[in-house]
Structure 1
């Protein structure tokens, strides 16, 4: 039976595809978590409210005057050209309180102790404990405002935790990227070991390094592309599975960034396949004949 001839650039690729796909998926998953975390922070900031309680028995004219004053503040969020300032009457506040606590204070209190208030959403860049204190001081100066309330310490706590998450994920992603480059380099070198004599034979008959390297590089690029494509599909599938089980995550989705992430995974696969193959082939091109055996 005739022995099958080896063709330059051909070598077992199963392990390489598996290793690269797994590593790219983990990197993509870290990127997905980073996007979701960033969007979650933005969502929290966009829905964070400061409450300005008004004086008791405030007149309708005074209520409207306070509203206009609030709308002119630079730290008030704008959505669809509308300042995010909403009025909550003391009657509505009482209904909300009873609905949340299941306790009807009106049964033993003759008067509604709650006050009319405004709920104010802030611009994202004011999501800072120091700035919130300054906002509180500013709102306290408005005539008709009795008290200003916001959740203290929660802002700095969220900012600190998010910073820690970003640092951990960034370090993990960089560490994983270094591992994948080293792993792919070694894997491809082992795969090319079977072709070391073929590479030397081509050199002996006058083939240039560029001519020898080209088939390997094309194969490395194709492997990187396929691995990136599979990894991007796995990341997208994981996200869809999460959305199916947790529909609440829909508000955190950013389609443009997701497309950029998936494209980045594919490009990263191509780059790593090209770089690792180039380094591995060059090592064999420069090996002395006695070291090939």
Structure 2
């Protein structure tokens, strides 16, 4: 039975492709989690409200002028060209209070003691306790604004928790990347081990190191590219399944960042394939005949 002729660079690649695909999938999954987390954080910050209570007895014209004045402030969030400033009349506030507490204070007070107010959403950059204090002081200097309130210390608690989450995710992603690089390097080294004698034979007939290395590098880069494409396909399928079961996830989708992540996976796959293959081949190029056995 004739022996199969070996070709330079034609080493078993199934386990390498599987390992690299799995590795890139895990990295991509972490990346998607990071993107969604960032979008969720932005959503939370931009939906945080401060309330500016107005003086009593203001005319409707004065209340309208206050709305325009507040909307012009640089810290007010603007979405689709619309400043996020919402008027809540004292009657609407009374209905909300009664609905939440199930107690109708008007029955024993005889009047509505609440004030008209504006609910103001702020830019994400102002989601900080010190800056919120500045916003509060600035709004309270506007004629017609009685008081500005917000949940103190809540912002700092949220920011601290967000920082902790980012640190944990970053550490996990870094550790995962290091483990993947080491595993891929060892996997490719074992695969190329089957061609060590062919590499030595080519050296003996005068082949240069670059000539020997070229087909291995080409195959390694191709495997990295193919693994990235498969990993991206799996991520997209998983993402669509997740959105089908949790439609709210579509709210936090950032297409530009997702595309950048996919492009990064392709580049990372090619880079890992290239570097791991180069290091493994270079090792065998420098072995003596005794070390080959």
TM-score (norm 1): 0.94
| Unmatched runs of 5 consecutive residues or more in structure 2 | none
Q: Provide structure 1 residue ranges, at least 5 long, that are not aligned to the other structure.
A: none
Alignment of 1:232-243 (within 5 A): 232-243=232-243
Provide, for residues 157-178 of structure 1, a one-character-per-residue CA deviation record: whole Å limited to 9, x for no partner: 2222222222222222222212
Q: How far off is 1:78 after superposition?
A: 2.2
CA distance in 1, matches of 2:156, 2:206: 67
Partner of 2:249: 249
2:118 alignment counterpart: 118
Distance in 2 of aligned mates of 1:102 and 1:173: 49
Secondary structure of the equivalent of 1:192? helix
Which residue number corresponds to residue 182 of structure 1?
182
Q: Distance in 1 between matches of 2:79 and 2:194?
A: 64
1:95 has 2:95 as partner: yes
- Asked whether 1:15 is paired with 2:15, we answer yes
The alignment of Structure 1 onto Structure 2 pairs a total of residues equal to 293
Give the superposition deviation at 1:59.
Answer: 2.4
Any residues of structure 2 matched to 1:93-172 within 5 Å, and which?
A: 93-172=93-172
What CA distance in whole angstroms lies between the structure 2 residues aligned with 1:226 and 1:185? 17
RMSD value, Cα: 1.7
Q: Which position in structure 2 is the counterpart of 1:198?
A: 198
Aligned-residue offset at 1:87? 1.0
Show CA shifts across 1:43-94 (max 9, x none). 1222221111112333223312322331232212223333322211112222
Give the secondary-structure state (helix, strand or coil) at the position aligned to 1:57. Answer: coil
Partner residue of 1:289? Answer: 289
TM-score w.r.t. the length of structure 2 is 0.94
Taking a change above 3 Å as real, the CA distance of residues 102 and 245 of structure 1, as seen in their structure-2 partners, is farther
Question: CA 1:165 to 1:205, structure 2 compared with 1: closer, same or farther past 3 Å?
Answer: same
* Matching residue of 1:229: 229
